[in-house]
Amino acid sequence: MKARAALLLLTLVALPLLTGCTESSGKDFSFVALDGDTVHLRDYRGKVVILDLMATWCTPCEYQMQELKKIYDAYHDQEVVILSVDIDTRETAQQLRQYKQNFASKYGYPLEWTFGLNDGSIWEEYKYTAPGSDGPGIPMIYIFDQSGQVHFRHTGLAVHDDVPPGWPSKVQKLAPVIDELLE
């Protein structure tokens, strides 16, 4: 089973991935956070926003959470916000809470940033098909600059800064993108 998971991880990381800076306008979006509050992109003007599109059933998304935790630890006190949005409209807030609890039990640390549910509008606006792939996929990361502009987007796994052993060396690193925006 571990070999199968490792093979799946390597396959997903090695797929042709869309990466890069864009500088396009970020349309305001909203979603309902697990605490019941409605969250808008515009609420975070002046901050770097990482939008993580994920689902609880997505195994690569679980690996992405480990990398987002590293980003959270490195940047949460530097005007960087992470928003993880479950794009599967069939999933409930209870399922997403359970996902976070299971993650904390499995890895020994909580996911401390904002999580919420998509009503379908975020996925419709931000889904993107990477060149060479059959369709849009997750995990998908968008990084918005302090004025709400899309600065970066990436489909597939991305790391904080260090590539884990056994991963392809060309995996997208997020820290340089964040550091550039914080300069």
What pLDDT is attached to residue 1? Answer: 47
CATH number of the domain enclosing 52: 3.40.30.10
Residue 131: its pLDDT value, please?
53
Count of alpha carbons within 13 angstroms of residue 159, beta-carbon side? 14
Mean pLDDT of 16-38: 69
Q: At residue 19, what is the residue type?
A: T
pLDDT single digits (tens) 131-178:
555 556 789 999 999 999 999 998 888 999 888 888 777 888 999 999
For 90-144, what is each residue's pLDDT tens digit? 999 999 999 999 999 999 999 999 999 988 777 777 765 555 555 567 899 999 9
Give the global pTM: 0.82
Q: How many domains does the chain have?
A: 1
Domain of residue 48, residue span: 2-182
156, with CB counted inside 10 A (0-12, 13-18, 19+), is buried
CA 45 to CA 63: how far, in whole Å?
A: 28
